[in-house]
Each structure stands twice: as structure tokens, then as C-alpha cells.
Structure 1
């Protein structure tokens, strides 16, 4: 374990939160929550306006921030250096590859020094390469994020959609991090804003094909996206027609359009169940058509092709998903016919449909691949082929565009050592063209680094994949510090792709590792099912097994590991800190979901009802209560030595509320028996993702990395890479 030499100077005294025990009884079990007072009763208004936060709570959070600043003051120069390094790896005047749509091609770019994207278009036939500053020939700026963000402490664009006739732009903006968006419509010819402003929106929006009708989703009082409205331009938003209302608070509503632009799709879903309705986009006034009624633990997504729907689903026992088809006029589940049958172990992740092709992204044996299928008749599938790669592809992503009648597929590829590459692939000729390769202005040579993959033996015999990257000059004799990242929830995998930020640790002698643990789908959907609800502890055991496997393989030693995770991954950090503190030198828990039991017992919080399928419902089930209580990090803090810990929070975060990490840190500080650093840093003007600007975020990363370097004894500034 780290010694007291990592404690802050005596002049920096940690805040002590007063204990005000709140007695809670459920299922005949009595417990006390000593720091429940940190949850402001007025939390809904705080998310809208942080200024109304209870003064005592604000004072405590600010005291914790001041303590963090004082404790980390010896690393100020290092943080500045880390920030400069990470910023130096970003091409400041970068641009995305334009996506053609009719007479235009649409793209985003960044300006030198700019924090926010600039949304643009150019003539569809403009040269493929960008000129200086990322600008294209004939460029037209549609929305300048930097100008819009002037004077704002927080600014984020969730959606920016042009109308089908290219005359209008609708965009949704969050200005405080609470994920409550304002939708605005702009006339692109005059630059004027239309009076059609929509408040309290969820952020997603869809144009009907007439270019005069907008569909959008609103949030209820508990911040849940629950209603879909139809807005006719020129009308009063207060009089907009309700198209769909979700009656179950456990289901959230989403909105998008099929690839053909034929249907507006309304999806209602929790984490394991979905239900889809479609509206003819050419007849926006028509009523939604239900595809198939929801059934518990049955998920499905819908595209269309010709006179049929194509359906990605796990129905019929297809644990790793299959693709089915059904007639447009009879889309019920009884009419679903397998098009791509289920094959256990091959998880179909996503589907992209074109006029003559169907593309699926799938994962098998932990590695992704892209499969292209010809659809020559519109009724059956033709031949299919996989896109080949010269090396194992660790991270692949389909890049949707605007065109349906095209043979060109766009995809992105990267690895732990290789920067991202964007390709256009001719599905007929089976030929690819490299359009863009991520530039690292300060320099990056993949040959300087080694990527590895090991399988760690889990507590129950399962093999846990671990992806590893390090500098080739780093000694692998167990002396290297190691940062181990994990998530492991909601079926989300962690691709082993490229990230420029992590090289600030790797070049200082760190080994960087990613644990592909249960709760994600890295080894198929069953990998997810065995890491949720009553089996959630497998997630924590897998992370511990990954740490032990890395030690056994000689990459590091016990007590030289920094665990890192955010949100549900932050809950993972809290759990493993309780279970095996001896393995870790430090823990970085970003917006950590650590107060699991209290949150899952509070049905009024924004995400609680939709989360019950993931964690269990402790209000109704004593078994779920006991299962969650056994691992909930906040409820299992003990009087013992803990690793050094840095926790972060966002004051307006609707996903993991600020009081979860605040309560956790307060309880740890009162209970732990060591002198190791324990820090809480709350972003007072941000939400779940922290600061909104691309460079502002780097200051937060620099703090986390400086913390990791500090506790591992590597917090020296350097003139060149690799010499800590």
C-alpha cells in the first residue's frame, strides 16, 4: 500500500462533512445513511439553475474542491505539461470527411484554438481534401459552435440536422450540462432564427420529408424522455400535437429515421426490452404504426428495405442476435422470418441498410468485423463477404451517411497503437479508399509501442480478455506502474482503439490496460447477462482477475496499479476498492455510481426505473435489496486502509447525481485508516461528461493523470518522452 508520503501537506486540511444519520427501513432491514443531507431536496431546480443549490451543500463541495487544488498543488506544473502534451496531439484545425447529400456535402470542423465544432457544408463535388484550417472549397458555415458558446460556462450541441430541402437547420443545445435542450430552427438563406423555439427537449430531433414538420422528444419532471411531439413550422410549440406518450416510467423514448428516409422511428426502451413504432415520413400527420408489442427481455431495432422491414433482434432465444424480415403491412412478431440466423458466439452489434446492400457489424472471439451482404432482389439476400484487414482490427465502427442508393460504405478503424483511419469502401468492387488518417501533430510512431492481449483466469474459471499497450522501452519486470481501465455494465463493450491522451502516461513508463469484463458484451451477449443483477459481482471479480493476471504475467506488481473507471465504471472502482484495496496504488473514479442502493430505492430520480432491469428493483424485491446492499460501494465502506482515491462529480449531472461521489468521499474520509490522498473534484458548471469544450476537458484528464503519476511516484516533469 502507498505510504503517508502521498498525503497532502499539513496546511491542506480535508473538509469533514457532519454526520446527520437518516434512518431507512425496507424489507424489515434498518440502515442509517449519515450523509443523506448532501442530496439537495431541490435537486430538480439545481439541474436547471445551479445557483439555487443549498448554500451549506455548496460550501462543502467548494471546500472539497479547494482541498483537491491544495493537495494537488505540487503537480501544477505537471498538469500544465500534461495539458500541453495532450493538446499538442490534437490537430486543432481538424475536419471530418464530408458526407454527401444531394447538392451538398455536410461536415464538422474545428478552428485553431476553438473549443466547439463548426457545422458546415460545401458543394458535393468539392475536392476531398481540406484546405488550411479544415475549410473546404465553397464552404458555408451553418452553425458556429464557438460563436454560440461565447460567454457560456457550458455549451453542447446534441443534434444539428438540415431539412430535406437543405433550406433550414434545426439544432438542440444544452447550456448548463443538465441535458435539457433548447431546439432552434435557422433559415440558412437569411441566417435568421425562426420563432419556433422548443424548450425542455431531450435533444434528438427528426425532420419529416416535407421539410416543414419536426418531431422531437420532451422530458418530464423527473428528467425522463417520455413524449414525442410533432411541430409544424410557424405554429406555436405550446400547441404542438402529442404523437406518443410512454406510460411506463421505466422506459425512455428515442427518435431517429431509417436509412431510406422512409420512416420516422419512435423507440421505447429500457436496458433489456424495446418497442418500436414508425411513422411514414412522407405523411407526418399519420398515426404511428406499432411493429411488435414489448415483451420483457426482447430487444429489436428496425430498418426498411423495399416492401419489408429488416429487424435486428434477440427474439426466439437468439442470445447473440439475428436479423429477421417482415412485410411492411404486417410487421408483427408472428411474421418475422430469419434472414441472418442466430449463431451463438457471434454477436451482431449493429445494422446499416442500403438500397442494394445490407451491412452488419459483429463481434466474435472478442474481435469486431464488418460483413457486407448483397440484396439483389429486395426479397432475399445474395452473397456476403467480410472486409479484410492486414492486421487484427481492434476497433471498427460503421459511419452512417445520408445516401441510401449508393454502393459506398464508410467505416473507421483503429488499434491501440494505430491512429484512426476513415475509409470509403466500394461494396461492389470490394475496394477501399483511405479518406482520412488521424493526425498527431506532435508526432506518433506506432513502431515505438507494443500492443498485447492476454486472458486472465477469473474466479470461476472464465477467461477475461485484457488489452495492453506500452512503450517498447518499458521494462516488463514487474516494476512498471499500470493503469487498468474498466466499465462492465449495460452490455457496453470497451473497444481497444486509439487514444492520444493515454500516451502521456505510457511515455512516462506506465503500462495501459483495458479489462474486457462481464457486464459488457466483449465476449457476446451472455458475457453481459452474467454481469448484471444478481450476477453483478462477476464484474468486480473479473476486474480483480485482470489485475492479478497482469501481475502474474509480469507487467506490474500488487500495489502498483491505478484503477480507472467512470459512471458505472466508477461504481466498479468503488467496489474493487472495498474488495481488494491491496491491489491498487490509486483509484480514479469519474462521476462514480457508488450510492447504488439509495439510488435504486429512489423511484423519483431520473434514471432509477429504467435501471431496475440492470441492477434489480430493491423496492419490490428483498433479494434484489440484499444483492445490491452486498456490493454497493457507499454502503460497504469499512474502517481499513484504502488506496489513494480521486473522485469527480458534475453538479448538473442527471445520470449520476453529484451527491453520490460527495457522500462516498465523506464516508471514506470518516472511516479509512490510512493517510493516502482522498480527493473530490466537482465541476460546478458541468454535467455527466464534465466540461463541454474539447480543451477544457483536457484539464480534467490532466488532473486525473497527474494524480496517477503522483501516487505512483512518477510525478516529475520531463523534457522528453519516456524519461519520468
Structure 2
């Protein structure tokens, strides 16, 4: 349905002029015509019949064809109706039959999604015993609570406590000087949290009088902000909008937070709230839709920073095009701009004593560190502290009163380097892991929480996590250069000695070495099956860790213990090897992300680690789009594909700026309003490269009805079109839609283990059907 057509130009002009609809996905912002077509009026020259497309099969007329058996008694997947719509863009004519799936209120949409869930359940019914076995394994591995150390703010230390009969842990605090614990926040008493709950932020004021917290009850990542007065335990402020980053001023009653606009294009407002008077006002608004804003407080607590950011990721230390500052004890004062966007660099600012620190990319993409007087932050006053070094990325800077700590990464290996006030190197901390996650400071763990330190102490707290090391917290005294273990999360039944983690390098098409972080059981026989995860988007790094995605070892151990190895392919498009790693695979170089994944798979086969018919690839969100596009390039190489909440229709997403993050994604994938970028993107877009003569490996796709990042109908359209093109409706394509929860799945309860167990069981089933 999406092939280029040769139409009579005069006929097209007449048809467009007389039937142009008002629901064009591009919003009329470009030279594009989108037309809803009634099948009774379609010219034979415009719309090939379903009989031709489906090898003379009779077309369906119901909104969704029911589940049925074919003549051989084989279960057929559902098939939604098509409503062809023509689009003309850059002189290319395409039609799309499944845009109607975006009308969530249409009962036919719900019927289709439920039919797909029904098919997935029936088509995988033979895996029910295996799935139940895996669920039991995952539940047995759940770590004990209380492993994360308490963090201190002012006179209190805050910690979580989980009652076994309740779904969510509650927040408590106790005085640092000693005394009984006090309940601060129990999410279990908030209506709706029994279904879904995700914490956004948990931020106490310096004196502990107030606590700001936010939460999401749907999974759409719209966090309601509340402020609780600990004097009586009552909530004195509720902001039902979409709040993200939150910081307190030093006066203990002024709160600054970012508020996202309702159209989800970006976070464009900074709001100031006086909790005592209940007066709020917008103090900063960004009008450039390609930019977003963040607010944060310096490690010293003395300054507030406002960052205007250009990149998709909301990592606190990603760097900004523009930076403003305000003394934390003058929340009603005037913000001062210390970095102008006209400078053309990205800068992350911190405060240390009588100076500002700038991590800046002016000398090269791996960053350097400079300091500058507080009253003159112009480039002419910059003095270098750490020079730019090719291949050594300055990822983060953290400031204690007497110590500057820099998180560096050379290749995949991280290290922490401390310096004194004169810039001289003191302690260097290098984890034993070849590829791991290292986190400095302690966090409340919410989606928008930031890590914090005890500024006036010389003791630095950090954690290390990897494939074989559950989160381990260490306190290092920088003055004495001594380390002390604080805690390690205990995982029942896990014995690290039974597993081996390593890094393998694969040569890409252009000769660049692409790293693969791998884990397997020591007694695994090679060659054997492998599950490879890839992302490669937005300059986001994916490091091995034990609990967080994509490692998720409490779940993946069920794969490893059945002989399947797991790996993260650090394809270009991410930032694992610095910013050049990202820049190498964006816009008209995006194919490199896909060919890197292909090279990694081929290398594992060549080395005798993987079987030639035993590689499954997996990706989530933007990574879901990566694996779908890669599988289309080399369907012979992969046994199966797991695409979780995939960005499967990149082109249409970027043509509709009402879609989440669509405008900023043009910096990653290219702008389809530009002809040559449209054609490049069109050449690999998963949705627009489906065809009847292009078979694909067995594929698992999922979506979430309340997803706030990849809207449910993006993967739904991909599945519907793929079924339409296959004469047998592609029965090896399984599609599941979560009716509860969002982009990251269920928040708690049985659904968490069930979702993982279903994917693991399906993967094992596909590998059992391989020819090797």
C-alpha cells in the first residue's frame, strides 16, 4: 500500500483540492496533502484491491476480523480494517490504511487491541507451564529491602521501608542526632496506587519542614506535584499539571519546578512557588520549541542553575546551550545569565568556593573543565583545570567542600578522580569491572530525582553495579584515601561465581571496533544461543548493571540458566564512547546504528560464541525501532526479534509535532520536511518498509495504552500493516498491549514478573525452533 504510484497530475490536483481533510497529521505545517478515502469512491488506478494485495483473498469488511481457524485448523491472527489515506510529500505518493487506530475513543480500536491480546494468549498457550516456572524463579530472586543507604538532608536522614503485605515502600525519616523514625510519605494510601504508581521526585527542604513529592498513577509520565507540611502531615499544595525537576531554595519555603506543556512538546516553563503564601508564578519560559529547560541546585547548595538544553536526554549533566544562575538564598531575586546560547557550546555549570566550574565542549567533544570567577564567567576569564583528552570523556563533575570529583570514562571503563582546590590529583578509584555502571551520590530513586552528597564531608558515597555485581554502595574518605563498604543488595539464589562477564569487540563495516558487553554461565556450551540488546539513539548510554534496564538480571537469569547468553551491543548512536559515538550515527548516518548491530551478531558467530540461527535481538522504545529496522536489513541473520514499545513509525512521528518529543527527534533522525532527509529516513523506517515480498523473522511487539512516550498506536499500526501484507496474517508476529501501566511496564505486583516471563518464554520457544 505504500508503493510509489504514477498518477495523472491533473486528476490528483482535482482530488486534493476537493477532498482535502482537516485531520492531516502534519498539522498543515508543510506541503503535504492527507486525504481520507471512502473505499466506494477510490479509483482503480489509485488503490489496488485487497484481492490483489492478498493473493485474491476476500477482503474483510468488519472493523476487526475475528480470531478464527483456517481450513487446516490453524489459528489466524486478527486483522483490522484498512482506511486508505493518501499523502503526497516531496513528490512521493503513499497511502496509509491504519491511521484510524490513533482514535483511542473508537470502540473498534479497543476491539482490535483486545483481539491481539487474545491471539497472543492463545498462540502461546503451549508456553503456559514454562511461563509459570519462570515467574516463580523471578519472584524468588526479589532482593531484600533496606539495601540502599539512607540519604541526609539537613537535620534528617530519609529512608524507605517496605511492608510485605503492601505494594509500595513508604518513606520515613529520623533525626541525624538520634531519635525515633517518623513516617513521611506512604504511597499506599493514595487512591489509585493499587493499580499503578511511579515516583517522580522526593525532595525535602533544607530544614525538613516541607517535602515536595510527585507521582504518576497511569504510566503516562504526567507527574502530579504535592508539597507536604511535616508540622501536621497535611498537603499544602497540589499541582495537577506535569511537574518534573524540583528544587528548594535556601529559605526553606520557595520551590522551583519545571512544568511541561500539555502538548508534551517540551518542558518550557520554570515555576516559582512560595509555599507559605501559595503564590506561584512563571519565572522563565522558553519559546524555542527545539529547546527545553531544567532547574537544579549546586552541590554546595549556594546557587540555583537554570539550564536551557538542546538534546533529547534529560540527564542532569548533559550540558546546556544557555545557563542562568540565582543565589539560593535570594529566591525572589533576578536570574543572571552566565552562559549565552550564542556562544555555540554546551556547558555544565557547578559552583566551588569563589568560582564557577564549567564542563565545556569548546576544545573537543570529550569535554574539558575550566573555572572562572563568580563575577566574570565570560570565556576570556576561563582557566583550565582538566584539558580535553581524546578518548577520555568527562562524564560528570561532583563537588564537595574540599574535593572535586570527576567521573571519567576511557573506552567502556569508568574511574573516579578527585582533585584538591589547586587542581592536583588525589584519589583515583577504578572499579574491577570491565564494563559497569557507577553512580555518584544517593538518590530518592524517582524518575526525576537527582543524586546528592554531604557537601561538607570528605566522604564520597558511590555505587557500582554490573552483570555480576548487584548494586554495591561504598563510602570513600577522600582525605584519608580509605574505602568502607556500606551495603550490597542481596539477591536470593544468585551466585556470581557461576557467571562470567566479558567484553568482545566487533569490527564494523567502516573498520571501527564496536564493543559488546556479554554475560553467560560459565558452564554454557559454545556456540550457543544469544540474546542481544541494542538501543543506539539520542546519545544515551546503556551500561551493564544488575537491576536496571536493559540488564534486568533478576529476570534474565532465567535465560542464562537455560544456556542463553545475554549481551548489550554498544552500537553507535549511543554515547558509550563519548559524543563522537553519538554523532557518528545520526540523521543521514543512521544506518550505521543498524550495521553495527549486524556486525556484532556476525562477529559472535565467527568467534564460535553464537550459532548462526540462534541470535535474537531486542530493543525498547527507540531501540525497538533500531531492531525492527535492522531485522529488515538482514532477516536471515536473526532467529527472532523482541521490539518493546518500539518507535516503529519514525517518519509519521516526526511529521506530527503533537507527538511526544517529535520535534526534538528531528535532530536524531533527520527532518522529513527536508527532501533528502525524508528519503534517507524513508529508506529504513520500519513501518514504511513493510512489503508482501519482504519476510521478517518471528517478532514480539508490545505497547501500552497509557504510554506517554511511544503512543500505543505507533506499534499497533506497524503490526496491523505487517499482518495486512502477509498472506497468512503473519502468525509468528505476537502483539501484546498493556491496558495498565506505561512505557516501562507494570509498576508492581504480579504483572512485573508476568511481562518478563512472557518475553523470556517466547524467546526460548523461538530458539528451540532454530535449525542449529
User: Normalising by structure 1, what TM-score?
Assistant: 0.89
1:514 aligns with 2:568: yes
Question: 1:103 matched to which residue of 2?
Answer: 155
Question: 2:428 matched to which residue of 1?
Answer: 386
Tell me the distance in 1 between the aligned counterparts of 2:418 and 2:749. Answer: 35
Contact 1:252–1:610 (CA<8 Å) still a contact in 2? Answer: no
Tell me the distance in 1 between the aligned counterparts of 2:165 and 2:192. Answer: 13
1:710 aligns with 2:758: no
SS in 2 for 1:78: helix
Describe the shift of the 1:579–1:679 C-alpha distance in structure 2 as closer, same or farther (beyond 3 A): same
Tell me the distance in 2 between the aligned counterparts of 1:263 and 1:25. Answer: 52
1:368 aligns with 2:421: no
1:392 Cα deviation (Å)? 3.9
Question: 1:623 matched to which residue of 2?
Answer: 676
Deviations along 1:303-362, one digit per CA (max 9) or x if unpaired, are 101121111221x24211111222222223443332211101001111111111111111
Match among 206, 211, 222 for residue 252 of structure 2: 211
Match among 462, 466, 477 for residue 512 of structure 2: 462
Q: How does 1:6-85 map to 2 (within 5 A)?
A: 10=73, 12-40=75-103, 53-85=105-137
Q: How does 1:266-415 map to 2 (within 5 A)?
A: 266-271=306-311, 274-295=321-342, 298-314=345-361, 316-375=362-421, 380-390=422-432, 392=434, 394-399=436-441, 400-415=451-466
Describe the shift of the 1:229–1:23 C-alpha distance in structure 2 as closer, same or farther (beyond 3 A): same
Match among 256, 259, 266 for residue 299 of structure 2: 259
1:95 Cα deviation (Å)? 4.1
1:178 aligns with 2:226: no
Match among 246, 269, 279 for residue 286 of structure 2: 246
1:673 Cα deviation (Å)? 6.2
Deviations along 1:96-145, one digit per CA (max 9) or x if unpaired, are 2012233321223433254323222223256xxxxxxxxxx832221112
Question: 1:140 matched to which residue of 2?
Answer: 182
Describe the shift of the 1:474–1:609 C-alpha distance in structure 2 as closer, same or farther (beyond 3 A): same
Question: 1:116 matched to which residue of 2?
Answer: 168
1:283 Cα deviation (Å)? 0.7
1:152 Cα deviation (Å)? 4.4
Contact 1:101–1:402 (CA<8 Å) still a contact in 2? Answer: no
1:617 Cα deviation (Å)? 1.6
1:363 Cα deviation (Å)? 1.0
Q: How does 1:503-652 map to 2 (within 5 A)?
A: 503-619=557-673, 621-639=674-692, 640-652=694-706
1:426 aligns with 2:472: no
1:222 aligns with 2:263: yes
Contact 2:148–2:489 (CA<8 Å) still a contact in 1? Answer: no
Describe the shift of the 1:333–1:232 C-alpha distance in structure 2 as closer, same or farther (beyond 3 A): same
Match among 73, 93, 98 for residue 145 of structure 2: 93
Deviations along 1:475-517, one digit per CA (max 9) or x if unpaired, are 11x2x22101111111122212323221110001101111111
Match among 445, 459, 462 for residue 495 of structure 2: 445
SS in 1 for 2:581: helix
SS in 1 for 2:76: coil
SS in 2 for 1:66: helix
Tell me the distance in 2 between the aligned counterparts of 1:484 and 1:113. Answer: 36
Describe the shift of the 1:113–1:495 C-alpha distance in structure 2 as closer, same or farther (beyond 3 A): farther
Describe the shift of the 1:328–1:117 C-alpha distance in structure 2 as closer, same or farther (beyond 3 A): farther
Tell me the distance in 1 between the aligned counterparts of 2:334 and 2:87. Answer: 46
Describe the shift of the 1:113–1:646 C-alpha distance in structure 2 as closer, same or farther (beyond 3 A): farther
1:700 aligns with 2:755: yes
1:414 Cα deviation (Å)? 2.6
1:275 Cα deviation (Å)? 2.0
Question: 2:34 matched to which residue of 1?
Answer: none
Describe the shift of the 1:418–1:152 C-alpha distance in structure 2 as closer, same or farther (beyond 3 A): closer
1:78 Cα deviation (Å)? 2.1
1:551 Cα deviation (Å)? 0.8
Tell me the distance in 1 between the aligned counterparts of 2:453 and 2:427. Answer: 23
SS in 2 for 1:267: strand
1:571 Cα deviation (Å)? 0.7
Q: Note the residue ranges of structure 1 that are not aligned, 5 or more in a row.
A: 1-6, 41-51, 127-136, 716-724
Tell me the distance in 2 between the aligned counterparts of 1:704 and 1:426. Answer: 44
Tell me the distance in 1 between the aligned counterparts of 2:86 and 2:577. Answer: 42
Match among 470, 484, 487 for residue 535 of structure 2: 487
1:163 aligns with 2:205: yes
Tell me the distance in 1 between the aligned counterparts of 2:607 and 2:689. Answer: 31
Tell me the distance in 2 between the aligned counterparts of 1:147 and 1:522. Answer: 41
Question: Please, which moves more after superposition, 585-594 or 551-560?
Answer: 551-560
SS in 2 for 1:312: strand
Question: 1:46 matched to which residue of 2?
Answer: none
Tell me the distance in 1 between the aligned counterparts of 2:752 and 2:358. Answer: 38
Contact 1:149–1:155 (CA<8 Å) still a contact in 2? Answer: no
> Runs ≥4 in structure 1, deviation > 6 angstroms?
none
Describe the shift of the 1:617–1:393 C-alpha distance in structure 2 as closer, same or farther (beyond 3 A): closer
1:569 Cα deviation (Å)? 0.6
Describe the shift of the 1:114–1:672 C-alpha distance in structure 2 as closer, same or farther (beyond 3 A): farther
Describe the shift of the 1:553–1:125 C-alpha distance in structure 2 as closer, same or farther (beyond 3 A): farther
1:201 aligns with 2:242: yes
Structure exhibiting the larger radius of gyration computed from Cα positions: 2
Contact 2:453–2:461 (CA<8 Å) still a contact in 1? Answer: no
Contact 2:77–2:731 (CA<8 Å) still a contact in 1? Answer: no
RMSD: 2.2
Describe the shift of the 1:532–1:93 C-alpha distance in structure 2 as closer, same or farther (beyond 3 A): same
1:391 Cα deviation (Å)? 5.3
Count of residue correspondences: 676
SS in 2 for 1:557: strand
Question: Please, which moves more after superposition, 216-225 or 160-169?
Answer: 216-225
Deviations along 1:29-68, one digit per CA (max 9) or x if unpaired, are 222222122122xxxxxxxxxxx63222121112111211
Question: 2:556 matched to which residue of 1?
Answer: 502
SS in 1 for 2:699: strand
Tell me the distance in 2 between the aligned counterparts of 1:79 and 1:335. Answer: 63
SS in 2 for 1:661: helix
Deviations along 1:532-555, one digit per CA (max 9) or x if unpaired, are 111111000001111111111112
1:282 Cα deviation (Å)? 0.5
Question: Please, which moves more after superposition, 54-63 or 666-675?
Answer: 666-675
SS in 2 for 1:83: helix
Question: Please, which moves more after superposition, 88-97 or 445-454?
Answer: 88-97
Question: 2:24 matched to which residue of 1?
Answer: none
Contact 1:173–1:203 (CA<8 Å) still a contact in 2? Answer: no
Tell me the distance in 1 between the aligned counterparts of 2:685 and 2:217. Answer: 32
Contact 2:249–2:255 (CA<8 Å) still a contact in 1? Answer: yes
Tell me the distance in 1 between the aligned counterparts of 2:475 and 2:751. Answer: 32
